[in-house]
Structure 1
């Protein structure tokens, strides 16, 4: 069974021969640097190459950005590039560029997809992430109260750009799934209330997600932290799944597949146990296995593999990942 068929069937509740054995996130640069010193070949340069070296099902991400090269960068990480409507007007000429992928990249997408062992997904910013990048972390949280009309105007403009971008994507290449980058939650849950979500984010998700449904592209939300409340919020606007389900934030996928059984969940393998070797990693897979068998749960690291994981331990992780994904078949 090809990787795309396996993933599609899992999302649709159709038969699969096993679960995908994928890593959704690339590795830290420091991790790859360590592995180079432990035997990772210099020829394995790209994310695709490294995944291929380890024998994973390949899973590659394509990003589409609403800011252009002319959009200024923040002076310091976490700071914004605007504060008010006048600033937004000034930045508008640099925003919402026309998206066109290079022909050679589209050819690569199609070839690797047709080869049968590669999943491709695309990512755009979500309606929480995009304004945060514009306002900066602190001012963004105030903007719901201080610049509410502007927030909605920005999201409306962004939604219009997304529609055009999705139209282009639909005409160019059929991705296996997509993700909205959000990071709306951290260890203590969402950084806004359900009422604020319903007013400022939900209407725009309800505007653009139906287009993705028409494209038959599953919609995932990428949010770190404790998403226990947010799972229901995003299910309510039409999302098909979430990742990465960070274990250190106390999340528990077994609860999510009970309350949202139609949704898929990717990740949730505690990356912090990997440095301790096979016994610790097998115990973690055993924790996940019942949920993998019961719901649409694809095990993968719950974020990028940290540099305290040796090349040898990562090879053990991949071997166990293949072993446990092969335990789950659905008829």
Structure 2
């Protein structure tokens, strides 16, 4: 079997020849350290962050089969992005910038944490119509022939290919910031609904344009990241109110084109959003971030049955420990892998402290988890 056939078998509850070793990318810091340790050539540092070429090099050297990354043949992001600009240097040592989403952030030289948000270009209807609405309207310029060619090449290699369907909530949260997002739910519900409808329409048209190329996709994928360790950042009924109809339109379209594995990337405790996604056509949870809340596909499968599938759920922290810790994690995942409809995968990018030999060992062991 090739990797595409393995994925299809598992997602259709059939028996593969083995489990594929799947990843969710690598942090820049771990790649830099592996270069310093001599595992990788320095030329990999010249590649764009999260580049497919770089990930292919890493996959081959470490033993991964493929990464769970959906292609953006037709982008659903701001188009074009805002120009990233330096704004000012502050007395406390921080530098203020405006980023590609129109968000004002603070960064300190050398810091690697997520930057602090201190302001947003999007504040009201005037700024929405002036700055954002034109950048969130579908145009044919959003379509990338070069990305389509890359996807065709991957398909010829026997690798599964995914279609990125955009974000129906997470990007709006990014543009507004969580505080203004929360206020707008009460202060200007009409404008907020218009934002959701605009992005929903953009995502639908983008997905349709890509499907009409005739490429047979193995899975489709949404991004949200609207949860944290205690649950969603907005009430589930509000999430459903604004997103459900758009999810349903897009997933119905995907089904028409025989794309039947439809995943959503959402970190944090997602349990209260699961029934909304399932009811509206999203059937695969990713990356099942274990976290302090011990997320696992097991209780979800018990509650929702086979309609709920998953990719992820492997504690990536063991990659910094030793072989015994990896064996223990593999043994924990073994009964879950045997449920089928589920592929173990590190529950986020390979972290800064992961040891090269540990990742190689994990790849070797995960491939034999079904034995």
Report the TM-score, using the length of structure 1 for normalisation. Answer: 0.91
- Give the 3 Å change call, closer, same or farther, for CA 237–113 of structure 1 in structure 2: same
- Aligned pair partner of 1:277 in 322, 347, 359: 322
Distance in 2 (CA, whole Å) between partners of 1:202 and 1:249 is 29
Return the offset for 1:58.
1.9
Q: How many residues align?
A: 323
- Aligned pair partner of 1:85 in 107, 125, 132: 125
Decide which moves more: 54-63 or 86-95.
54-63
Query: Aligned pair 1:52/2:81, yes or no?
Result: no
Partner-residue secondary structure (3-state), 2:263: strand
- Aligned pair partner of 1:135 in 158, 163, 176: 176
Distance in 2 (CA, whole Å) between partners of 1:20 and 1:80 is 42
The Cα offsets for residues 153-212 of structure 1, whole Å up to 9 and x where unpaired, read as: 112122221222112211233332122111121100112222212212222212222112
Which residue of the partner structure matches residue 159 of structure 1? 200
The Cα offsets for residues 215-250 of structure 1, whole Å up to 9 and x where unpaired, read as: 222211111011222222211211110111111142
Report the TM-score, using the length of structure 2 for normalisation. Answer: 0.81
The Cα offsets for residues 266-292 of structure 1, whole Å up to 9 and x where unpaired, read as: 111001122111111111111111111
Moved over 6 A (4+): none
* Structure (1/2) with the larger helix percentage: 1
Distance in 1 (CA, whole Å) between partners of 2:362 and 2:182 is 39
CA contact (8 A) 2:70 2:221 kept: no
Query: Aligned pair 1:169/2:210, yes or no?
Result: yes
Distance in 2 (CA, whole Å) between partners of 1:112 and 1:94 is 30
CA contact (8 A) 1:66 1:97 kept: no
Which residue of the partner structure matches residue 322 of structure 1? 367
Partner-residue secondary structure (3-state), 1:229: helix
Structure 1 unaligned runs (5+)?
Answer: none
Distance in 2 (CA, whole Å) between partners of 1:12 and 1:126 is 26
Which residue of the partner structure matches residue 11 of structure 1? 11
Decide which moves more: 184-193 or 93-102.
93-102
Distance in 2 (CA, whole Å) between partners of 1:155 and 1:212 is 20
CA contact (8 A) 1:186 1:249 kept: no
Which residue of the partner structure matches residue 65 of structure 1? 76
Distance in 2 (CA, whole Å) between partners of 1:27 and 1:97 is 31
Which residue of the partner structure matches residue 179 of structure 1? 221
Query: Aligned pair 1:203/2:248, yes or no?
Result: no
Which residue of the partner structure matches residue 37 of structure 1? 36
CA contact (8 A) 1:4 1:176 kept: yes
Query: Aligned pair 1:246/2:300, yes or no?
Result: no
Partner-residue secondary structure (3-state), 1:166: helix
CA contact (8 A) 1:129 1:181 kept: yes
Which residue of the partner structure matches residue 222 of structure 1? 265
Partner-residue secondary structure (3-state), 1:298: strand
Partner-residue secondary structure (3-state), 1:75: strand
Return the offset for 1:81.
2.6
Decide which moves more: 56-65 or 206-215.
56-65
Partner-residue secondary structure (3-state), 1:174: coil
Return the offset for 1:70.
4.7
Q: How does 1:291-310 map to 2 (within 5 A)?
A: 291-310=336-355
Distance in 2 (CA, whole Å) between partners of 1:289 and 1:139 is 44
Partner-residue secondary structure (3-state), 2:39: coil
Return the offset for 1:19.
2.7
Return the offset for 1:97.
4.5
Partner-residue secondary structure (3-state), 1:178: strand
Structure 2 unaligned runs (5+)?
Answer: 48-53, 83-100, 106-114
